[in-house]
Amino acid sequence: MSYQALFSSLWNDYVNRNPHALKVHDLFEQQGERIINDHVAFRTFNDPRINVDQLAKFFLAYGYEEKGTYEFPVKKLFAKHYEHKNPEAPKIFISELLTEKFSPELQTVVKSCVDKIPSDALRSEKFLTHGTFWQPLSHKVYQDLLAESEYAAWLYAFGFCANHFTVNINAFNRLTEICHVNELLQKNGFKLNASGGLIKGTSRDFLEQSSTMAEEVDVSFAEGKVKIPSCYYEFAKRYALPNGELYTGFVAASADKIFESTDVGMRS
Ligand code: NI
């Protein structure tokens, strides 16, 4: 299998879970734009059985290389990004929750979830679209996690899947600024993440980003179905470094705000 086939199965799973992303994608195509992904992001826990390095193996197998590391002290996350030699291959951004920095209760929940993942599950790329291995979900547990970490609650509810795809605005012909993208989306009724402003980062950071707010989807809990925020769609514009090369890294301060695209409390 080529990495292109992996990304198309990730994309199909992602738009199944998040129909709004496909609507945005189609809207860009209607504008005559060619869609290239800047990056695809995944979330996990830092349990050594399924941490960033474990998930990264799927991509290293296709020739991806580790390029940058990022710390998010307030959200208690750590992340790495990976790049492929082909500049049109999406970068990969994988973050993990530093579970030891949370309550013993949260740590117990995470451990019992990870314990339910079959030890051979990571042998197959299907792991990346599998969702949760810890059915049935408890809404009480979800809410307890939510009180400590939005990220932990999201991961408990959705498990393993692409958290977001990100469109590379540099490849666009007409919508060449993030603000053009944002205006088009708002005009078409899509809700954007306004935490820290609609546009995160500036040309001085060499990266500007914006994103939709995650769509609320029905999740089946033991207590019944509940609508909770799922995944979002992101847009990135990169700028050239003084050496003339396009910046390929990430900006922790901006990513910190982008993480909030799945927040429950952000919705109005
Ligand atoms: Ni992102």
DSSP string, 18-65: -HHHHHHHHHHHHTTPPP-EEEEEEEEE--TTTSHHHHHHHHHTTT-E
Please tell me whether residue 81 adopts helix, strand or coil conformation: strand
Would you state the pLDDT for residue 256? 82
Express each pLDDT in 21-78 by its tens digit.
999 999 999 999 999 999 999 999 999 999 999 999 999 999 999 999 999 999 999 9
**Which is more confident, 257 or 35?**
35
Asked whether residue 153 is assigned to any structural domain, the reply reads yes
- Across 194-198, average pLDDT: 89
The CATH number for 55's domain is 3.10.180.50
Around 63, how many Cα atoms within 13 Å sit in the side-chain half-sphere?
A: 10
What single-letter DSSP state applies at residue 263?
-
Could you list the residue range(s) of the whole structural domain that residue 158 is in? 3-263
Average pLDDT rounded to a whole number, residues 217-232: 96
Per-residue pLDDT at 266: 52
- pLDDT tens-digit series, residues 98-128: 999 999 999 999 999 999 999 999 999 999 9
> How many angstroms separate the alpha carbon of residue 164 from the centre of ligand 1?
7
What pLDDT is stored for residue 137 in this prediction? Answer: 98
For the residues 77-89, what does the mean pLDDT come to? 95
Confidence of residue 267 (pLDDT cuts 50, 70, 90): very low
- Total domain count for the chain? 1
d(CA 260, CA 79): 16
Closest to 232 (Cα-Cα) out of 216, 257, 212, 218: 212
- The confidence score (pLDDT) of residue 2 equals 86
Q: How remote is the CA of residue 132 from the centroid of ligand 1, in Å? A: 21
pLDDT computed for residue 268 by the predictor? 40
Q: C-alpha distances in angstroms, 9 versus 5, 22, 48, 85, 262?
A: 6, 14, 26, 21, 22
Mean pLDDT of 159-165: 97
CA of 235 to the centre of ligand 1 (A): 8
The whole-angstrom separation of Cα 252 and Cα 178 is 19
pLDDT of res. 33: 97
Q: How far apart are CA 220 and CA 157, in angstroms?
A: 9
pLDDT at 195: 87
| CA 14–ligand 1 middle distance (angstroms) | 14
CA 87–ligand 1 middle distance (angstroms): 17
For residue 37, being part of any structural domain is answered with yes
* pLDDT band at 259; cut points 50, 70, 90: confident
Cα 119 to ligand 1 centroid, rounded to whole Å: 29
pTM of the entire predicted model: 0.95
Cα 35 from Cα 253, distance rounded (Å): 26
Quote the radius of gyration of the chain (alpha carbons, Å). 18
| Mean pLDDT confidence for 121-145 | 97
Residue 74 lies in a domain: yes
Å from CA of 133 to ligand 1 middle: 24
268 within some domain: no
Report CA(255)–ligand 1 centroid distance (Å). Answer: 7
Q: Say yes or no to pLDDT of 257 above 70.
A: yes
Task: Tell me the pLDDT band of 265, cut-offs 50, 70 and 90.
Answer: low
DSSP 212-261: BPPPEEEEEETTEEEEEE--EEEEEEE-B-TTSPBP-S--HHHHHHHGGG
